[in-house]
Amino acid sequence: MQGRLAGVVVALGVLSGCSSETPSEREAPLTQRVLAGRGCDVNPTAEEMADLERRFQQERAVSAYVRPIGSVEVPLYFHVINKGTGVVNGDLTAKMINDQVAVLNAAYANTPFRFTLTKTTRTTDPVAFENFGPAIKVALREGGKNALNLYTANLKNNLLGHSTFPADYASNPKLDGVVLLYTTVPGGSAAPFNQGDTATHEVGHWLGLYHTYQGGCVSPGDAVSDTSAEASPAYGCPTGRDTCAPLGVDPIHNFMDATDDACMNSFTPGQAARMDAMAQTYR
């Protein structure tokens, strides 16, 4: 797609409490707002989380067990927004895209989910590249509720990525998906966040996970029983960090914390079960 996308809205950049959301976006229910990526501290309040969890329990699909590892194929539509040719302008190479898909599949290897690159689109639009907004999703999104649409662009305010939650799909199907800073894919320049795990983290939100530090040391935390409580995001790779003693050391290696890509390496069985239950309910 060439040329400017009509009606592009300024990016929903949320960082450290500062937001460039439009008024209509601020008024949207929490799960319809962007969830900011690592380096940001934007989380549901305890009341909002309770509402989300009540809805999930009411609507939850009956499932006696987590589906077998690798049994759920997720079609992946990869949308590259750029301002011209060359990686420096956001035009990711085929290798970078394939490597990103490989990172996702490695990260989710112990879950039911496998991601299959179904289609790649390239949109040359300098305005959209610098100011990613909902209109781009509306113009480009493909597939049904089970399809992952992943967009790359030049996000602002040090934002690495953002995502919608599964329950959002029914009310806003065209806004469903994950958005990444283009330099976070494997081979990008956003070190130490350039090994592809920003996508892993944001897809975790897309499948229904909260941050591991959700709710701090207060139960129910991130609504997953086998992730240790954590008072705040962990940065770098602080081995042995324990902010909620004596509840166990912080889960700094978990993909849903805020550590460097090289530090992240796992989801827990409880997280895999929650993602599967969310997918069976909403996707």
pLDDT in tens, 82-103: 999 999 999 999 999 999 999 9
C-alpha to C-alpha distances, 156 to 114, 161, 200, 215, nearest whole angstrom = 30, 10, 20, 26
Characterize the bridge pairing of strands 18-19 and 178-181.
unpaired
Four-CA torsion 263, 166, 164, 174, nearest 10 degrees: 140
The yes-or-no answer on residue 27 being catalytic is no
Catalytic residue chosen out of the listed positions 25, 27, 48, 202: 202
d(CA 249, CA 227): 10
Looking at residue 238, what DSSP letter applies?
-
**Cβ–Cβ under 8 Å, residues 264 and 254:** yes
**Could you identify the residue written with the tokens 């199907």?**
173
Which pLDDT score is estimated for 63? 67
Distances (CA, A) of 17 to 28, 78, 130: 17, 29, 21
* Structure token digits, residue 241: 């960090």
pLDDT at 43: 58
Q: Hey, is 142 helix, strand or coil?
A: coil
pLDDT value of residue 65: 73
Per-residue tokens: 273: 């079960």
Cβ-based neighbours of 254, under 8 Å, separated by 6 or more: 212, 227, 264, 266, 267, 268, 271
Neighbours of 257 (CB within 10 A): 23
Can you list the domains of the chain with their CATH numbers? 14-210+271-282 (3.40.390)
> What is the rounded CA–CA span in Å between residue 211 and residue 272?
14
Amino acid code (one letter) for 118: T
CB atoms closer than 10 angstroms to residue 86:
11
Structure tokens at 54: 């009540």
What's the token pair of residue 80?
A: 């590259």
Q: Which residue has the tokens 């799960």?
A: 31
Return d(Cα 136, Cα 5) in angstroms, integer: 7
Which residues in the chain come in under a pLDDT of 50?
1-37, 39-42
What local confidence, expressed as pLDDT, does residue 230 receive?
Answer: 95
Question: How far is Cα 56 from Cα 240, in angstroms, rounded to an integer?
Answer: 34
What's 32's DSSP letter? G
Task: List strand residue ranges (DSSP E) for the chain, in order.
Answer: 14-15, 18-19, 35-36, 72-82, 113-124, 148-153, 161-163, 178-181
Predicted TM-score (pTM) of the model is 0.85
